[in-house]
Amino acid sequence: AQKITQTQPGMFVQEKEAVTLDCTYDTSDQSYGLFWYKQPSSGEMIFLIYQGSYDEQNATEGRYSLNFQKARKSANLVISASQLGDSAMYFCAMREGSQAYSTLTFGKGTMLLVSP
């Protein structure tokens, strides 16, 4: 079974609108972390936001927020007031356990296109 599922291969949104990118995860660990990365067409991987499994509040970083629903095992990324520069591939990732050496597992990504 996939540990990280991103069901939207592509999403379109108009500038200034909000958009939600879906991510569901599968783990039996009680301690885990969820991450979102952005990959623009230039190719670099940019860390956006982190949510810990024990965090009671949804994480926010500027225009990015993470809608964390633990019981549903979902960690959706919400981008408010989209900008043209938000056009990119977005990856959801999970780190299971609290061990220092635990590694990131990635979803297959969602391509977001923002139109004027």
Partner 1 sequence: DAGITQSPRHKVTETGTPVTLRCHQTENHRYMYWYRQDPGHGLRLIHYSYGVKDTDKGEVSDGYSVSRSKTEDFLLTLESATSSQTSVYFCAISVGGGNTEAFFGQGTRLTVV
How far is the C-alpha of 48 from the C-alpha of 110, rounded, in Å? 14
114 touches 86 (CB < 8 A): yes
Helix (H, G, I), strand (E, B) or coil at 59: coil
Residue 103 interacts with partner 1 (CB under 8 A): yes or no? yes
**Binding mask of the shown chain, residues 48 to 77, with x at each position contacting partner 1 by CB under 8 A:** --x-x-------------------------
Nearest to 37 by CA among 19, 67, 64: 64
Find tokens 């991103």 and name the residue. 6
Residue 100 interacts with partner 1 (CB under 8 A): yes or no? yes
Residue 30 interacts with partner 1 (CB under 8 A): yes or no? no
Q: How far is the CB of 32 from partner 1 (least distance, A)?
A: 7
List 38, 75, 86, 107, residue binding partner 1 (CB under 8 A): 107
Residues of this chain that interact with partner 1 (CB under 8 A) are 4, 31-33, 35, 37, 43-45, 47, 50, 52, 91, 93, 95-109
